[in-house]
Amino acid sequence: MSLQPRPWPEPAGEIAAAVRAMYAGRRAPLPVVIRDELGELFADERFAGAFADRGTPGWSPGRLALVTALQMLENLTDRQAAEAVRDKISWKYALGLELTDTGFDFSVLSEFRKRVAEHGLEAVALDLLVAALVDKGLIKPRGKQRTDSTHVLAAVRDLNRLELAGEAVRAALEALAVTAPQWLAQVVQVSGWAAGYGARIDSWRLPTSKTKRAQLAAAYGQDGFTLLQAVYAPDSPPWLAQVPAVETLRRILVQNYLVVADRQGREVITMRDADTHGLPPGRCRITSPYDTDARWGGKRDLVWNGYKLHISETCDADPATDDDAAGPPNLITHVATTDASVPDVAMTEPIHAELARRGVLPAEHYLDSGYPSADLLVSSRADYGIALVTPMLADTSPQARAGNGYDRSAFTVDRDARTVSCPQGKTSTSWAPALQRGTEVIVVRFDRQTCQTCPVKDQCTTATRTGRQLTLRPRPVQEALDAARAEQATTAWQARYARRAGAESTIAQSVKVTDTRQARYRGLPKIRLEHNFKAIALNFIRLDAWFNGVPVDPRHTSHLSRLDLALAA
């Protein structure tokens, strides 16, 4: 399939006439509004890297991008989306197709997604939409934006470690049965292995006995290692080791099994015990042989297997008013997708970098307490000119938590003299720069004898062998942290921070309209593509409502509430 970029044709005359006749005096469908207001959004040239320049011409990737966005908006399958291209006059209008155009086979959509994801072009379509909105003045740089995250469930079943081991062996056998059937028939007894691995492992009722589960785990491990030994044998085709399911099996066995020697020196394969042998960190541990990018994650009382989505949007409108006509709607400027193990704070700087690349950096960025750190308060302003409006975690020292005693704010710091004075007027004896978990700190210590004989020791420290110790950050970081903590206690800051609450409404809309919390595809690249197109779909909904002067999500008033209001009047 080759790409021969060309401009989209204008809507066919008969299509345009039919639309004008059908929707005269009425609100036109969203695809018609988007085409009329934004024109040709997705130029073919931007997708050129994913397609060859020679060969049979394929369907326009720019048009396929628009089809994919409309597909996400209406939550359609590939078959349904391809059928909509053939029989929906509003889609033909938006795509510039003739009435008699037969569209394309539904498999073209999956091929388009695969090519775009493989070539790292997942965000191109959203880039083009944001650029168009900036040109129209609907997104203004150096305004206000907010970001929040939500969980996304992987499109695979949750497996315990026993099921994971068995299913990894089964997946490798299935792949080898397709790619190298004759070789597989020579190295294993097909009938015997088919009896154990013919059906999904999680469809069985696994034994409840601890002994029997251990035996089954050892059997899965033995079968897995036997299969890998055959794959890596000198007389086996070298390409077998490159089969993705085989490589996944190897990684799962390494992460979950040990090969040890018994008293007679024989090899024994046992499943790792988490407490005794330890397991790899969650960010590295595969949770399913069918989606090797998915990870287990947790947030407060929620635990899930899959991914995490971060949504950034404009929020320039005053949250205290409901006047949507005062300015453009809140529009999504960026989405970021990671596996579920990545904490929010690790994404703050990458989000700023992407907003800078798109030329839509805000002056103020509203975040919840999971995103900031003391260092980010300083670096965001220095590197990007962004003021983080976010609650900082309070002092966690025992004195601060108890609210009784001398916390750090009770001490006087003289950075020039590199000393600290306690509330009793005593001066520290040690000032030592250090590195704690990769973070620059200054460790300050007071004399042991002075602290142990101090009359207010119980209000200051519980140490019995040392004196009081304080941990400070470098001056600019500490000053920014102290200022942020002081400001967030004011009523004015709390009223200002109310602007961030709208991010939760955006996530609710994305879940309701596009089923964001359930991944449609497998693998991080395709899920990133999915989320970018879902962001485009949400922007389309908001733009369509704004162009037509309709509230995006009007509050629904029940009949009972309406009666209550009437009686009150």
Extract the runs of DSSP E, i.e. beta strands, from 408-464: 412-414, 419-421, 430-436, 439-445
C-alpha to C-alpha distance for 526 and 117, rounded to whole angstroms: 6
**pTM for this one?**
0.90
C-alpha to C-alpha distance for 108 and 130, rounded to whole angstroms: 26
How do the pLDDT tens digits run along the chain, 569 residues long? 566 678 888 999 999 999 999 998 888 999 999 999 999 999 988 998 888 776 667 788 999 999 999 999 999 999 999 999 999 999 999 999 999 999 999 999 999 999 999 999 999 999 999 999 999 999 999 999 999 999 999 999 999 999 999 999 999 999 999 999 999 999 999 999 999 898 988 888 888 899 999 999 999 999 999 999 999 999 999 999 999 999 999 999 999 999 888 777 788 888 998 888 889 999 999 999 999 999 999 988 899 999 999 999 999 987 655 444 457 899 999 999 999 999 999 999 999 999 999 999 999 999 999 999 999 999 999 999 999 999 998 777 777 777 778 888 889 999 999 999 999 999 999 999 999 888 899 999 999 999 998 999 988 888 888 999 999 999 999 999 999 999 999 999 999 999 999 999 999 999 999 999 999 999 999 999 999 999 999 999 999 999 998 766 544 557 786 676 667 64
Angle of helix 30-38 relative to helix 524-547, nearest 10 degrees, comes to 90
What's residue 324's pLDDT?
A: 47
C-alpha to C-alpha distance for 198 and 174, rounded to whole angstroms: 9
Q: Is 329 in contact with 299 (CB distance < 8 Å)? A: no
Q: Which tokens in the block code for residue 530?
A: 């999915």
Residue 191: its H or E element: helix 190-197
Q: Which tokens in the block code for residue 423?
A: 């509330």
Amino acid at position 415, single letter = R
Q: For residue 495, give every residue at least 6 positions away whose Cβ sits within 8 Å of its Cβ, in sequence order, or none.
A: none
Q: Where in the chain is the domain with CATH 3.30.420?
A: 144-149+303-392+493-547
C-alpha dihedral (264, 270, 276, 279), degrees to nearest 10: 140
Nearest to 254 by CA among 267, 268, 275, 272: 272
C-alpha to C-alpha distance for 337 and 368, rounded to whole angstroms: 18
What's residue 554's pLDDT?
A: 44
What's residue 400's pLDDT?
A: 75
| Residue 431, beta-bridge partner list | 444
Give the three-class secondary structure for 434: strand
Phi-psi region of 167 (alpha: psi -120 to 50; beta: other; left: phi over 0): alpha
Q: Which tokens in the block code for residue 156?
A: 């695979």
C-alpha to C-alpha distance for 350 and 382, rounded to whole angstroms: 15
For residue 104, count other CB atoms closer than 10 A to its CB. Answer: 20
Nearest to 500 by CA among 294, 328, 311, 326: 311
For the domain spanning 144-149+303-392+493-547, the CATH number is 3.30.420
Nearest to 300 by CA among 387, 369, 222, 364: 369
The residue whose two tokens read 């309209």 is 513
DSSP 133-179: HHHTTSS-TTSEEEEEEEEEE-SS----HHHHHHHHHHHHHHHHHHH
Give the three-class secondary structure for 346: helix
The residue whose two tokens read 């086979």 is 105
Q: For residue 261, give every residue at least 6 positions away whose Cβ sits within 8 Å of its Cβ, in sequence order, or none.
A: 267, 268
For residue 222, count other CB atoms closer than 10 A to its CB. Answer: 15
Nearest to 253 by CA among 164, 187, 189, 193: 164
Give burial (CB, 10 Å; 0-12/13-18/19+) of 173: buried
Q: Is 225 in contact with 253 (CB distance < 8 Å)? A: yes
Task: Give the end-to-end CA distance of the chain in Å, rounded to a whole number.
Answer: 67
Nearest to 103 by CA among 89, 83, 80: 83
Nearest to 413 by CA among 402, 424, 405, 421: 421
Q: What radius of gyration do the chain's Cα atoms show?
A: 30
| CA dist 236 → 187, 230, 231 (Å) | 10, 7, 6
Extract the runs of DSSP E, i.e. beta strands, from 427-544: 430-436, 439-445, 469-472
Q: Is 147 in contact with 535 (CB distance < 8 Å)? A: no
C-alpha to C-alpha distance for 525 and 531, rounded to whole angstroms: 10
| Residues 127, 38, 111, 252, CA torsion sign | positive
C-alpha to C-alpha distance for 223 and 351, rounded to whole angstroms: 44
Q: Which tokens in the block code for residue 440?
A: 């620059």
- φ, ψ dihedrals at 260, nearest 5°: -125, 170
Length of the chain: 569
What's residue 555's pLDDT?
A: 47
